[in-house]
Amino acid sequence: MHIATRQYLAAGILFWPFALGQNISATLTSAGIDLLDASHILHFLDIVDAFGHVSLRNPENDSEFLMTFAIAPAQATSQSIVTYEINNATAVGLTFNSSVLGSAVPAGFSERYIHSEIYKKFPDVLAVVHSHTQEILPFANQDSIPLVSEIHTAPAIGSGGAPIFDIRNLPESVLPENQLHDLLVRNEPLGDALANTFCNDSQLVLMRGHGMAVRGSSLREVVFSSFYIKQDATVQLQATLLGGRKKPKALNAREVMDTATTALTLFPRAWPLWVQQADNTGLYTNDLRNGAAPFATGF
């Protein structure tokens, strides 16, 4: 028996995909569980509001990713998860409803190219978050003081600070004059330009006047990174005001590298707590997990 299936049965949960009358593997089901939890936790932790989105690469097909169609993350359920082709961000179908395919899938986020182009460029990236988190916006809107890793839980920002994506710096070939200049990443060339902005050891790109994009090697990690990027931005701003200094006291390259290693041992502890806190609000519905505890191992 597949290990994930055994975990599922051991947890005493109804094997939900059978109830859907379709052959969905235990792997895909647990990925869906984590994706719904990720959407809900990002809202619970105030990283996303009505807007923003999280995705993961399909664990069963690395040419695809899973993300909801255009819906507030807090309201995501199994019936809003879509399988998209990475090649062109086109909907294949609803991941957990095989009767809804292709063009029958409700409209996706216009900015799904943020996700598709990051997956295309970085084969080792397995999860992506895009958000408008208020705390990071001041750092996206000026370039004299970069957002840096100031706290040991935010190595994702990197030792050189976070790069900034600014549509005003894009050539006419990427953003023609006759296209909308509304700061949204609405097509492959814009998504590609954003993906090309990642540099060095930073898992983060700030987007001027807009928000951020965070990449990660797992879904739980990218949620952890997003939360502590938000915390870090507050700490840096307060430390700057308190100390009257311009130059931030950043972790150095060695500290970033080592705290990144340590962070891998931290987010598995945070995850079940955040799931339970989100469950306790009563606001969110994870109909793939149905109130059970999350798996010990995650995506």
Per CB under 6 A, the segment of 21-29, 117-125, 175-183, 207-215 that binds ligand NAG is: 21-29
CB of 50 to ligand NAG, least distance (A): 23
Measuring CA to CA, how many Å separate 186 from each of 30, 70, 115? Answer: 30, 13, 11
Instruction: Measure the CA–CA gap between 183 and 175, rounded to whole angstroms.
Output: 10
The tokens for 299 are 């995506």
In the bound complex, which residue of the shown chain has the CB atom lying closest to ligand NAG? 160
Measuring CA to CA, how many Å separate 273 from each of 24, 34, 48? Answer: 28, 14, 19
Name the strand (E) or helix (H) holding 56: strand 53-57
- Check residue 99 for interaction with ligand NAG (CB under 6 A): yes
CB of 68 to ligand NAG, least distance (A): 14
CB of 273 to ligand NAG, least distance (A): 30
Per CB under 6 A, the segment of 67-75, 91-99, 174-182, 231-239 that binds ligand NAG is: 91-99
Nearer to ligand NAG, 133 or 159 (CB): 159
Nearer to ligand NAG, 118 or 223 (CB): 118
Nearer to ligand NAG, 64 or 135 (CB): 64
Question: Which of 23, 144, 178, 265 is the binder for ligand NAG (CB under 6 A)?
Answer: 23
Q: Yes or no: say if 43 and 36 are a contact pair by the CB < 8 Å rule.
A: no
At 233 the three-state DSSP class reads helix
Q: Contact letters (x/-) for ligand NAG, 39-68, by CB under 6 A? A: ----------------------x-xx----
C-beta contacts of 250-255 below 8 A and 24+ residues apart: 250/148, 250/149, 250/150, 250/159, 250/161, 251/148, 251/149, 251/150, 251/152, 251/155, 251/159, 252/159, 253/159, 253/201, 255/149, 255/152, 255/155, 255/159
- Check residue 17 for interaction with ligand NAG (CB under 6 A): no
CB of 188 to ligand NAG, least distance (A): 10
Q: How many residues does the chain have?
A: 299
Q: DSSP state, 46?
A: T
Per CB under 6 A, the segment of 16-24, 35-43, 186-194, 231-239 that binds ligand NAG is: 16-24
Q: Contact letters (x/-) for ligand NAG, 126-165, by CB under 6 A? A: ----------------------------------xx----
At 219 the three-state DSSP class reads helix
What b-and-e string marks burial along 237-273, b requiring 16 or more CB atoms within 10 Å of the CB?
beebeeeeeeebebbeeeebeebbeebeeebeebbee
- Check residue 79 for interaction with ligand NAG (CB under 6 A): yes
Instruction: Measure the CA–CA gap between 18 and 278, rounded to whole angstroms.
Output: 27
CB of 281 to ligand NAG, least distance (A): 23
Question: Which of 7, 13, 85, 188 is the binder for ligand NAG (CB under 6 A)?
Answer: 85
- Check residue 100 for interaction with ligand NAG (CB under 6 A): yes
- Check residue 290 for interaction with ligand NAG (CB under 6 A): no
Q: Residue 205 class from Cβ within 10 Å (0-12 exposed, 13-18 middle, 19+ buried)? A: buried
Residues binding ligand NAG (CB under 6 A) = 20-23, 61, 63-64, 79, 85, 87-88, 90, 92, 97, 99-100, 160-161, 199-200
